[in-house]
Chain A
Amino acid sequence: MWKKTLSDIITELRNDENVIHWHELEPIEAKTRPMPIFIDERLRAALEARRVRDLYTHQYSAFEAVQQGENIVAVTPTASGKTLCYNLPVLQKIAEDSASRALYLFPTKALAQDQKSELNEIIAEMGADIKSFTYDGDTSPAIRQKVRQAGHIVMTNPDMLHSAILPNHTKWVSLFENLKYIVIDELHTYRGVFGSHVANVIRRLKRICSFYGSSPQFICTSATIANPKELAEQLTGSPMRLIDNNGAPRGRKHFVFYNPPVVNEPLNIRRSATVEVNRLAREFLKNQIQTIIFARSRVRVEIILSHIQELVKRDIGPKTIRGYRGGYLPKERRAIEKGLRDGDILGVVSTNALELGVDIGQLQVCVMTGYPGSVASTWQQAGRAGRRHGEAVIIMVASSTPIDQYVVQNPDYFFERNPESARINAENLIILVDHLKCAAYELPFQEDESFGPMDVTDVLDYLREERVLHYNGGKYHWSHESFPATNISLRSATQENVVIVDQSETANVKIIGEMDRLSAMTLLHDEAIYLHEGVQFQVEKLDWEHKKAYVRRVDVEYYTDANLAVQLKVLEIDRTKERPLSAVHYGDVTVNILPTIFKKIKMTTFENIGSGPITLPEEEIHTSAVWLELNIEEPEKSLEHLLRGIANVLHHIVPIHTMCDKSDIHVVSQIKAAHTGLPTIFLYDHYPGGIGLAEDVYKRFDDVKEAAKDLIRKCPCQNGCPSCVGMGFDGMDVKRKSMELLDQF
């Protein structure tokens, strides 16, 4: 069979009427500097053996700045040799003085494993006695002591640092006394709640270092975000030098926006993105072109994978197409990564798990099923395609959600706009107090000691009154039986998670997952149908007191949908923007959440085929919110509908602008708000105490408003659709009215 080349397919694509935007990135030549002359001979030889003779300009600048004692954050696109930005200065230092130690932090265990094998290859090549170890939950107790005492380079994750290393620092004396560098890889992943926790963990780390007399330098690397320097400084509490003179070469790249055709004109329903992705991927794969396909959920990965394997099995055989996502065993993942590098595997379908710096070599084509949710994330995924020489294609296939439609119809938004800022709020009081407890557990607090920019004396006194700390001789000492780090998880949105227990087989009862408490109220109540990896489970019992949901495998024709009654009370208004007919406020609110009933909905027809009550206690959180209030005391009936539509649009737009997950911010519309009786839309941080999202929306409200109007205006539906403000009714021009209403804020 005659095979098409990549350029044949590019030509075909150019004529495809569903391609609505074509963006070409010109090739870039490598910019290099010679290796500094004083580099250790063994290290130089090891690098030369790996065909590294010169350094890319960013690697050179990173090395130079670190040598001068600066903390750095290097911003590098995928596959630009970022690991050398830290491995070079670290190995050089240890080669000069073997007492030196370095601590590497990776957001996941898998990344640490990866980097260990890469680093150990260089070390073996050097023939130097440098020991590098990973230290995580998988590290066998037998070698833990060796890691603690003799590891030159210890690779771990923030969770392990928080719960195992820092609370036992007396076992790590030789590391902390000699710590020269702290490497933070994938810095951009430390944002939101997780980032806010990690910033506090790093404050604790710095305290311990200074107790043992060391003051390590930070070397951070980050994907492209708008504020790498700011984020690195907030996260480490240290001044940073930004290194962004990327010198890595790049081949020509075609960035294609693909919008599936409309199949139902009045309702503006498009053909499914998944179907289009399957078709496009097949075209590449059957012509032996290495392709990566990204999908947004684990279930979607499995669905696309089975489709594509089916489609190409006659052409190339199914084993050369693989899935990749969290939940696969590490060994399996290593094999897939290697297969991709060696070219044995032709195609891979992945969640954003492959967005991070796992080494899979460079592929020729990247297909995204829908907009990945942020500009930064999109560039990360796009970076998977593109060799240093030769052409590459990136296709983003839009789904019919408002975000996707907004992005593909406003290419400028994507290509001209800077990537999002990553935000953290290390001063969130709940997070701060949690880590102050851990810090006091690790070392007594001096009266005048600082912990971040805020004065924490009030908090320490509060903890003393609560009898958690004991004040004596100018110091606050931990005086409680508990081990505070065990109760604090860095990753969950709320503090206690519900554990999901599968008891389908009496002999093999096992935990299959966990869920934060607030989501569990609507997804894991008694009788709920819970989907896990595409399999249906029914919740037999939700044991709220012990935070356990017992589920059993079922095969039913319906899913469940729970109703939540949400009440909002305004506690305090901090700031207000007055408008002629409205006001935008920012402040603190109490949110009371009470699940009421659930409905059983038939999957094929969406009919309601039954319902039942949910009996769970009410949840209450205090958080920050921004709310839009209309000065209309006797609203028309249609206003309720309009507010709900605008709330829907805002819930889609806000995560784009604040770089958060859709579940981190909630939007609620009320025709009569409890505190004023006025029509109001609330946006609140879905985390006790708030993490700065609502504040960000308040500050940049005009941008958010314009983006919302733009989305409504550019939506090709005639008079409202689920992709924008919802369905219109009674001949009312919903789209125009919604935009007019937005203009009043």
Chain B
Amino acid sequence: MSMAKKLQRLKKHIVREEPPASKQEPPEGIRFWDVWESAGAELFELDGEYCITRETHYALDAAHGFYTFKDAKKTIDQWSAFDSYHPLSAKGFQPSDLFFFDIETTGLSGTGSVIFLLGTARIHENQVTVKQYFLPSPGNETALYAKFLQETDYTTLVTYNGKSFDWPQVKSRHTFVRDKVPALPAFGHFDLYHASRRLFKHTMESVKLVNVEKGHLGLERVNDVPGHLAPIIYFDFLERGDPEGVLQVMKHNERDILSLITLYTHISRLVLDERALVDDQTALEVGKWFEASGNSAAAKESFEKSTASRQEEVALDAAFRLAMQLKREQSFEAAVSLFTRVRESNGDRSIEAAIELAKVYEHKWKDIPKALRETEWALEQKLEKEAITCALEHRLHRLEKKLSK
């Protein structure tokens, strides 16, 4: 049986996820160039390959959501007055050192997933420049990355989930053309997805960029192409060559990048300026962020303020965390007073507080009866974890033994 006939017969077994066929010749030259041109696109050619770039400018006093780009610039400058460590600190940076970055791909991670759009934005002295690099069809990646790397001298990337998606994907695609284009430079990386999870998770179910925009940045997407349609639009473009859909994806990408500027501004303000904090929970999250990144001085300062919160849960969580810091600093008096407050509240952290109190009473102040009282109190509560009960019983026995000596 001939191959073609066999293929037709076996078609049902071969075709699974693919859409039905339509005959189309491969593109010759660049189709619809007039449409591209009127959208402000430019052509870059290299050794028979080409890519399409597009630059857009925004005045500094243009607003994107709650902030103007001037606000963004001001906020970046404000980091210079911030003296201790924070993962997103831009101290010592010029605004133009930050490189806001987002890509569009034909699929999820894996070597067959191609990046067809690299989008970047930078804040210059007088304007914001968005520059996008578009892959007109697979097989032009040398041109794409040559152009991209030639114009890119970044020190710090700002992305949304770029640490686990965008940048590994760029590294993967770069591997294919690494012999023909410059190497990828080393850089710092602010991933705002992780920051958003810290600060906004308590306010929304899913910390997707569109949700953060809507909930915190005063942005609503109108006529936006959803990101998950980007691959289909690109494949359709490969077939038909009409850039209409792709230009909408580029618009979507541009919005994403501009939102990164606004989001960075907003998050920085929450960290730098307590007046920006509208609710006590977020204030506590800022403190926890300092705590997790090892800046205990700033964390302590923040927790101290949160202990005064009228939201009891926030105040108690802050009090407990502050007490742990104080304990570590050997300030036992202050720590015990805070632990006692938490324990007496009968809240979520009461049992932990009682255990901490028992530890201080037993080991530091050698006050066995008090330690015993705290331990017994904890055991009377409803304990969920077997391990905690075990540890407490162990402590109880030891304390009883010490007492009987």
A479, B238: Cβ atoms under 8 Å?
yes
Q: A170-B171, A689-B13 are in contact. Are A465 and B19 (CB under 8 A)?
A: no
Roughly how many angstroms separate A482 CA and B271 CA in the complex, as a whole number?
Answer: 41
Tell me, yes or no, whether A430 is within 8 Å of chain B by CB: yes
Q: A170-B176, A430-B13, A444-B138 are in contact. Are A484 and B1 (CB under 8 A)?
A: no
Q: Which residues of B contact A483 (CB under 8 A)?
A: 107-108, 110, 112-113
Most A-side CB within 10 Å, residue of B19, B106, B111: B111
Partner of A458, one of B3, B21, B173: B3
B139, A442: Cβ atoms under 8 Å?
no
B13, A484: Cβ atoms under 8 Å?
no
Name the interface size band of chain A.
Answer: 35 or more
Tell me, yes or no, whether B405 is within 8 Å of chain A by CB: no
Q: A171-B172, A429-B10, A466-B21 are in contact. Are A471 and B239 (CB under 8 A)?
A: no
Q: Which residues of A contact B171 (CB under 8 A)?
A: 170
A688, B13: Cβ atoms under 8 Å?
yes
Dominant SS among interface residues on chain B: loop
How many inter-chain contacts with C-beta < 8 Å in the A-B complex? Answer: 124
B14, A467: Cβ atoms under 8 Å?
no
Q: A430-B14, A479-B238 are in contact. Are A441 and B110 (CB under 8 A)?
A: yes
A473, B10: Cβ atoms under 8 Å?
no
Closest to A474 in B: B139
B7, A429: Cβ atoms under 8 Å?
yes
A459, B112: Cβ atoms under 8 Å?
no
Tell me, yes or no, whether B4 is within 8 Å of chain A by CB: yes
A481, B231: Cβ atoms under 8 Å?
yes
Tell me, yes or no, whether A14 is within 8 Å of chain B by CB: no
B13, A167: Cβ atoms under 8 Å?
no
Closest to A432 in B: B14
B232, A481: Cβ atoms under 8 Å?
yes
Q: Which of B22-30, B56-64, B292-300 contacts A (4 or more CB under 8 A)?
A: B22-30
Roughly how many angstroms separate A481 CA and B138 CA in the complex, as a whole number?
Answer: 14
A574, B139: Cβ atoms under 8 Å?
no
A167, B139: Cβ atoms under 8 Å?
no
Q: Which residues of B contact A471 (CB under 8 A)?
A: 26
Tell me, yes or no, whether B196 is within 8 Å of chain A by CB: no
Roughly how many angstroms separate A688 CA and B3 CA in the complex, as a whole number?
Answer: 15
Within 8 A of B (CB), among A436-479: 440-444, 458-459, 462, 465-468, 470-473, 475, 477-479
Q: A168-B110, A441-B112 are in contact. Are A467 and B10 (CB under 8 A)?
A: no
A628 to chain B, nearest CB (A): 21
Partner of A467, one of B13, B19, B27, B48: B19
Closest to B174 in A: A170
Within 8 A of B (CB), among A682-697: 688-689
Roughly how many angstroms separate A472 CA and B239 CA in the complex, as a whole number?
Answer: 11
A478, B19: Cβ atoms under 8 Å?
no
Q: A429-B7, A470-B138, A688-B10 are in contact. Are A479 and B110 (CB under 8 A)?
A: no
A169, B111: Cβ atoms under 8 Å?
yes
Q: Which residues of A contact B4 (CB under 8 A)?
A: 458, 462
Q: A167-B110, A430-B10, A441-B112 are in contact. Are A467 and B3 (CB under 8 A)?
A: no
Roughly how many angstroms separate A443 CA and B111 CA in the complex, as a whole number?
Answer: 8
Tell me, yes or no, whether A556 is within 8 Å of chain B by CB: no
Tell me, yes or no, whether A315 is within 8 Å of chain B by CB: no
Closest to B107 in A: A481
Dominant SS among interface residues on chain A: mixed
B21, A170: Cβ atoms under 8 Å?
no
| Per-position 1/0 for B212-245, Cβ under 8 A of A | 0000000000000000000110010011000000
Tell me, yes or no, whether A433 is within 8 Å of chain B by CB: yes
A480, B18: Cβ atoms under 8 Å?
yes
B235, A480: Cβ atoms under 8 Å?
yes
Q: Which residues of B contact A459 (CB under 8 A)?
A: 3, 7
B107, A472: Cβ atoms under 8 Å?
no
| Per-position 1/0 for A616-644, Cβ under 8 A of B | 00001110000000000000000000000
Within 8 A of B (CB), among A493-513: 495
A480, B17: Cβ atoms under 8 Å?
yes
Q: Which residues of A contact B112 (CB under 8 A)?
A: 167, 440-442, 478, 483-484
A472, B27: Cβ atoms under 8 Å?
yes
Most A-side CB within 10 Å, residue of B15, B21, B138: B138
B303 to chain A, nearest CB (A): 32
Roughly how many angstroms separate A478 CA and B235 CA in the complex, as a whole number?
Answer: 10
Tell me, yes or no, whether B137 is within 8 Å of chain A by CB: yes
Roughly how many angstroms separate A735 CA and B62 CA in the complex, as a whole number?
Answer: 96
Tell me, yes or no, whether A576 is within 8 Å of chain B by CB: no
Roughly how many angstroms separate A466 CA and B138 CA in the complex, as a whole number?
Answer: 17
A170, B111: Cβ atoms under 8 Å?
yes
Tell me, yes or no, whether A572 is within 8 Å of chain B by CB: yes
Tell me, yes or no, whether B6 is within 8 Å of chain A by CB: yes
Q: Which residues of B contact A167 (CB under 8 A)?
A: 110-112
Q: A458-B4, A480-B107, A588-B1 are in contact. Are A470 and B17 (CB under 8 A)?
A: no
Tell me, yes or no, whether A263 is within 8 Å of chain B by CB: no
Tell me, yes or no, whether B152 is within 8 Å of chain A by CB: no
Most A-side CB within 10 Å, residue of B6, B21, B107, B112: B112
Q: Which residues of A contact B176 (CB under 8 A)?
A: 170, 443
Partner of A466, one of B12, B15, B48, B139: B15
A467, B239: Cβ atoms under 8 Å?
yes
B239, A482: Cβ atoms under 8 Å?
no
Tell me, yes or no, whether B175 is within 8 Å of chain A by CB: yes
Q: Which residues of A contact B108 (CB under 8 A)?
A: 483
Closest to A173 in B: B175
Roughly how many angstroms separate A465 CA and B22 CA in the complex, as a whole number?
Answer: 6
B211 to chain A, nearest CB (A): 23
A76 to chain B, nearest CB (A): 37
A472, B111: Cβ atoms under 8 Å?
no
Roughly how many angstroms separate A483 CA and B173 CA in the complex, as a whole number?
Answer: 16
Roughly how many angstroms separate A169 CA and B112 CA in the complex, as a whole number?
Answer: 10
Closest to A688 in B: B13
B106, A479: Cβ atoms under 8 Å?
yes
- Shortest 4 CB-CB contacts between residues of A and residues of B: A441-B112, A477-B138, A170-B172, A170-B175
Residue contacts A-B, CB under 8 angstroms, 27 given: A167-B112, A170-B171, A170-B172, A170-B176, A441-B111, A442-B112, A444-B139, A466-B15, A466-B21, A467-B21, A470-B238, A472-B26, A472-B27, A477-B114, A477-B139, A479-B138, A481-B106, A481-B231, A482-B17, A482-B107, A484-B112, A572-B1, A621-B13, A622-B13, A688-B13, A689-B6, A689-B10
Given contacts A478-B112, A622-B13, 10 further A-B contacts (CB under 8 A): A169-B111, A170-B175, A170-B176, A429-B7, A429-B10, A441-B112, A466-B20, A475-B139, A477-B138, A482-B17
Which A residues are closer than 8 A to B by beta carbons? 167-171, 173, 429-430, 433-434, 440-444, 458-459, 462, 465-468, 470-473, 475, 477-484, 487, 495, 571-572, 574, 588, 620-622, 688-689
